[in-house]
């Protein structure tokens, strides 16, 4: 058996969440999907609670890492807004919907979900405010954007069609029309 990294555990977890929701996630399934023994899991994480904590940190920090890699904040509000729309397209939407469902059932996950939502509101809000110039309008448009994202994720998780690219194009038009 090949050695598996923490990052591989986390990616496999997002894939399981996307396929089967949080109720399909357990140590046995994760280890089977990765082709490792449960001993590998316990060697890496010690137990389920520590694994969930590390998974949530990985998921929370993913946005920060992606923004840093894209030089977010260096090219101006319109470029930042466009970068955020591109980042949004690349999210693991079914996994995020599963995490949101998990958050409704677990306080630790709920706290992480709130931190991610708050970070998204702050980050997108800064870019939107830079485009529209008005703080109050920016808060409204940012909340609308988050609601759109969550709605899209819920639709795709339930098997309904949803074209996020088209939604983001309309959202982009709306934000820039208010400049």
The domains of the chain are located at 55-177
Share of residues in the chain with pLDDT > 70 (%): 97
pLDDT class for 28, splitting at 50, 70, 90?
Answer: very high
| pLDDT of res. 1 | 58
Question: What span, in angstroms and rounded, lies between the C-alpha atoms of 160 and 80?
Answer: 30
| pLDDT of res. 70 | 66
Lowest mean pLDDT among 66-75, 80-89, 107-116: 66-75
Residue with tokens 């992480």: 112
CATH number of this structure's domain 55-177: 1.10.357
Q: CB-based contacts of 117: which residues, under 8 Å, 6+ apart? A: 146
Residue 135: other Cβ atoms inside 10 A? 10
pLDDT digits (tens, 9 = 90+) for 141-171: 999 999 999 999 999 999 999 999 999 999 9
Residue among 67, 65, 55, 60 at smallest CA distance from 6: 55
Residue among 117, 159, 112 at smallest CA distance from 18: 159
Question: What span, in angstroms and rounded, lies between the C-alpha atoms of 123 and 117?
Answer: 10
| pLDDT of res. 53 | 97
Give yes or no for residue 71 having a pLDDT over 70: no
Distance of CA 154 to the CA centre of its chain: 13
pLDDT class for 101, splitting at 50, 70, 90?
Answer: very high
Residue among 44, 52, 63, 58 at smallest CA distance from 108: 52
Question: What span, in angstroms and rounded, lies between the C-alpha atoms of 115 and 26?
Answer: 24
| pLDDT of res. 73 | 74
Question: What span, in angstroms and rounded, lies between the C-alpha atoms of 53 and 57?
Answer: 6
pLDDT digits (tens, 9 = 90+) for 76-99: 899 999 989 998 999 999 999 999
């Amino acid at each position: 058996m090949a050695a598996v990294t923490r990052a591989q555990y986390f990616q496999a977890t997002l894939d399981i969440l996307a396929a089967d929701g949080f109720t399909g996630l357990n140590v046995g399934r994760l280890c089977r999907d990765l082709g490792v023994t449960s001993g590998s899991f316990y060697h890496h994480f010690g137990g389920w609670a520590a694994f969930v904590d590390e998974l949530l940190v990985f998921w929370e920090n993913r946005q920060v890492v992606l923004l840093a890699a894209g030089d977010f904040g260096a090219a101006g509000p319109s470029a930042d807004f466009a970068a955020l729309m591109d980042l949004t397209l690349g999210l693991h939407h079914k996994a995020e919907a599963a995490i949101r469902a998990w958050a409704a059932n677990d306080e630790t996950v709920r706290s992480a979900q709130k931190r991610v939502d708050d970070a998204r509101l702050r980050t997108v809000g800064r870019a939107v405010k830079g485009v529209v110039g008005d703080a109050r309008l920016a808060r409204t448009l940012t909340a609308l954007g988050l609601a759109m994202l969550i709605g899209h994720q819920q639709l795709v998780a339930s098997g309904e069609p949803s074209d996020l690219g088209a939604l983001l194009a309309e959202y982009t038009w709306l934000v820039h029309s208010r400049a």
